[in-house]
Structure 1
Amino acid sequence: MNTKNYILFLLFISLIFTGCKKTDWRENYREQSKAPFGTYIIHNEITSLYNGNEKVYLKKNISDFFNEIYYDNDAGYANYICIKSSANKLDKRSINKLLKFVFAGNDAFISLNHFSENLKKSLNISTDNLDKNTYALQELKNLKGSLYLKNDQFKDSVFKFERNIRRHYFSKFDSLTTIVLGTQKINHEKQPNFIKVYHGKGAIYLHTQPIVFTNYYLLNKKGTYASNIFSYLPDRTILWDPQVKSRKNSTDKNKKSVFKFFNKHTSLKWSLYIAFWGLLLFILFNARRKQRVVPTIEKLKNSTSDFTHTIANLYLKEENHKNLVTKKITYFLEKVRTKYLINTNNLNSVFIEKLASKSGNKLSTTRYLINTIIAVNKKSNCTQDELMRLNTLIENFFENN
């Protein structure tokens, strides 16, 4: 078989296996997925429910995001939204950051099939899922359900869903800080499946049926229930959490492999197999000539980098974080003077507006950075967390321009 026929044969095999496309009925809740149980529609239409407010798609963990910008009176309030099967990226530290965010006057909406123990313990709630061991597609298809909203405007409405509705409800919560907004009929009794937990100046809305926000139900004239649910949240900036990133320095061992993405799609999986075996056959048929091994030439060692690390380690061992903070601020102001030609003697509102305009950064982000610099510069001592947070803010500021 010559090379041309060999290539044509591989293309023919590829078309056979990649051309067969079946409907994927698995619950993936991915924002870019147009499969029945993806969230492509709600993700793209969510801003229309809040008068066109800005939607921020979180490309990093919520904990790391709040290290850069924090929504409060100065930066404006926001709604955090997470619709997934389970929020594995919300570890204990991320949940604490989210609770502080809500306590300051923001709101959070979380709809999951499985709530983590950390989240339940933090909110003093318990859940019961009678179908937690149901995974087969046919078994899930047979799970029907009737959902209700307790608001007077919806009290006479019954929202019926014909598949993938698990018997999942809140079995325990603090009645002093929690109110029931919606119920689900389970074994002829109405059980709470949508609650509002007050926390500080804000509230956390918890929902047990993320499936109702997927493409399948929104395309089958079931979107009224979803829009009614989101009507409880105020018109604000939307922080949409796709749960794609673990927190920096996290010890999470369940990080996703790139090969898991291929395994989720039959056509991509077969393409990967064919490419692998095709490459192996090509090597076997063409491995007649051998080339002498080319010796590796080591790069010259960068002694400047080692010296910098040594000096940095000395500061860290002395735990003189204030000294490093002062040097970081001096470095930042010097770079502002040389790069943007702005006088840094007075860090007032005029300076902040000029710096935001010339650097191309958002005004709220620039104001938050300068206020942080002023605050830590007044302190006689600084913690390691304050040093790391200042360093992250400065690096992100110069990366965005």
Structure 2
Amino acid sequence: MKGSRWFILFIVAFLFIMFAIEYHLPKGFVWKPTFGHNDEQPFGCALFDSLLSSSLPQGYSFSRKSFYQLEQEDTTQRRGILVISDNLRLSEVDVNALLKMAERGDKIMLASTLFGRYLEDTLNFRSYYSYFSPMALKKYATSFLLKDSLCWVGDSAVYPRQTFYFYPQLCASYFWGDSLPEKVLAQKVFTSDEFVYDTEADSLATDGFVYMPVAMSRRWGKGEVILVSTPLIFTNYGMLDGKNATYIFRLLSQMGKLPVVRTEGYMDETAQVQQSPFRYLLAHQPLRWALYLTMITIILFMIFTAKRRQRVIPVIHEPVNKSLEFTELIGTLYFQKKDHADLVRKKFSYLAEELRRKIQVDIEDVADDKRSFERIARKTGMDAEDIAKFFHEVRPVLYGGRTIGSEQMKVFIDKMNEIINHI
């Protein structure tokens, strides 16, 4: 017991020390874009949603519904719908529901690098997609290279023209400028040397620079559809990236005075999973390692305690034959009671059963005595008259209740044993 107590104390102290070490280690970040409502990593949206909830005057809420579900809701209040995704490939049903909402007066903002062919054909625009690489972002950031420029050009009467600076990996996607919607909100600036010209971009090239739209809007019915090709800016990192939060709020100001609803209905299922206590432990490195060490300790404890402990092997004695003692006990009881006739009756029952089983003779059937005695004589080799005389003498004891002494009992039992032994 004493050894077990020291073992438990050692394990508890070891876990405490490891937890303290892991807690003070530098925190590692996960740079995979999730846009998750509960994700506190750089490209999650926990901080983004929290700031908007406390900043937007008309209210900011969160939903997991699709455009079709939102369009089916019976509401007369106009809303601004915000969707942030890395790959927003909308189906025909989604696009039709989206446009119905916009036609009634809702404002829809779609922030994605891909929008799907059906939406592009409907709104008559084309987008350029660029794959995001977290390693490329880290390498570029540590190289201290210049950032790319995004120029705000929309609503000059409300907001002055201003240039914002982002890493190229965060704003690599843009829209082609051949057939743009009604209003361009923001443009990405390329130098003539770094941009590959084609007929679609010629109209946007001035003074050695090329301006490609990254945010634009299109009136639809009473509402508006706003397209943004830089979804990574709408994240925790985008909110904390210098003064670039101003750019985000300028884009969101296009919703006007409508309450904004952000839906995760078009995100990966893994990013939509709500936080659970277990997932919270796994999301933080110190807690995650504490959980791993606890599980490893429990497994080791189970392995070592599952081994069979050697017990004292008991001495197994050979069973004692008590048959003779039992026989002596029964004989003593009969001797004390002096019931000799009862012993003869029990012995006769055994004799009758043996004759019935071995030679098929029923000596209890008095009417068939002659045939029975002759069959017994043939099987045993004994004289038939002696056998008949024995049964005639013993039957009064069996059925008539006649008492006999011990000597007569021995004579009857010896005769019955003789018959049994000769069968």
Q: Is the 8 A contact 2:132 2:169 kept in 1?
A: no
Alignment match of 1:146 (pick from 142, 145, 149): 149
Instruction: Judge conservation of contact 2:102–2:222 (CA < 8 Å) in 1.
Output: yes
Distance in 2 of aligned mates of 1:257 and 1:32: 7
User: What CA distance in whole angstroms lies between the structure 2 residues aligned with 1:122 and 1:134?
Assistant: 30
TM-score for the superposition, normalised by structure 2 = 0.54
Aligned to 1:76: 77
Q: Residue 166 of structure 2 aligns with which residue? A: 161
**Cα gap change, 1:15 to 1:113, in 2 (>3 Å):** farther
Q: Aligned residue for 1:284?
A: 303
Out of 38, 41, 50, the residue aligned to residue 44 of structure 1 is 50
Q: CA RMSD in A?
A: 3.9
Task: Give the residue type in structure 1 aligned to 2:188.
Answer: Q
Instruction: Give % identity.
Output: 21
How has the CA–CA distance of structure 1 residues 262 and 168 changed in structure 2, closer, same or farther, with 3 Å as cutoff? farther
CA distance in 2, matches of 1:253, 1:213: 19
Letter of the structure 2 residue corresponding to residue 132 of structure 1: Y
Q: What are the equivalent positions in structure 2 for 1:137-216 lying under 5 Å apart? A: 137-139=137-139, 141=141, 144-151=147-154, 152-153=156-157, 154=159, 156-162=161-167, 164-171=169-176, 174-175=179-180, 177-187=181-191, 188-216=209-237
TM-score, length of structure 1 as denominator length: 0.57
Larger Rg: 2
- CA distance in 2: counterparts of 1:280 and 1:121, whole angstroms: 58
Distance 2:286 2:116 in 1: 33
Deviations 1:236-255, CA, capped at 9 Å, x for gaps = 12112244877xxxxx8998
Q: Is the Cα–Cα contact under 8 Å of residues 196 and 203 in structure 1 kept in the other structure?
A: yes
User: What SS does the aligned partner of 2:102 have?
Assistant: helix
Q: How much does 1:18 deviate?
A: 4.6
1:318-363 Cα deviation digits (max 9, x unpaired): xxxxxxxxxxxxxxxxxxxxxxxxxxxxxxxxxxxxxxxxxxxxxx
Distance 1:255 1:242 in 2: 7
| DSSP-derived class of the 2:105 partner | coil
Aligned length: 277
Return the alpha-carbon distance in structure 2 between the equivalents of residues 24 and 120 of structure 1.
Answer: 35
Contact 2:37 2:44 in 1 (8 A): yes
Residue 111 of structure 1: how far off its partner (Å): 1.6
Q: 1:123 to 1:285 in 2, by over 3 A?
A: farther
Q: Counterpart of 1:167 in 2: which secondary structure?
A: coil
SS at match of 1:43: helix
Task: Compute the displacement of 1:119 (Å).
Answer: 4.6
Residue type matched to 2:150 in 1? L
Q: Which residue does the alignment assign to 1:303?
A: none
- For 1:347-386, list aligned pairs within 5 A: none
Q: Deviations over 1:262-301 (max 9, x none)?
A: 77654454344324322321321232579xxxxxxxxxxx
CA distance in 1, matches of 2:290, 2:92: 39
C-alpha deviation, 1:191, in angstroms: 0.3
Q: 1:209 offset after TM fit, Å?
A: 1.9
Instruction: Quote the residue 2:318 is aligned against.
Output: none
State the one-letter code of the partner of 2:7. Answer: N
Show the counterpart of 2:292.
273
What residue identity is the alignment partner of 1:207?
V
Asked whether the equivalents of residues 124 and 174 of structure 1 are also in contact (C-alpha less than 8 Å), the reply is yes
User: Aligned partners of 2:237, 2:23: CA distance in 1, in Å?
Assistant: 24
Shift of 1:207: 0.9
Structure 2 distance, partners of 1:61, 1:143, is 39
Q: CA deviation at 1:86?
A: 3.7
Contact 1:166 1:209 in 2 (8 A): yes
Separation (CA, whole Å) in 2 of partners of 1:199 and 1:173? 20
Structure 2: distance between partners of 1:120 and 1:146: 25
Aligned partner of residue 86 in structure 2, secondary structure? coil
Structure 2 unmatched runs, 5+: 1-5, 192-208, 310-423
Distance 1:173 1:262, change over 3 A: farther
- Report how far residue 203 of structure 1 moved: 1.6
Equivalent residue letter for 1:286: T
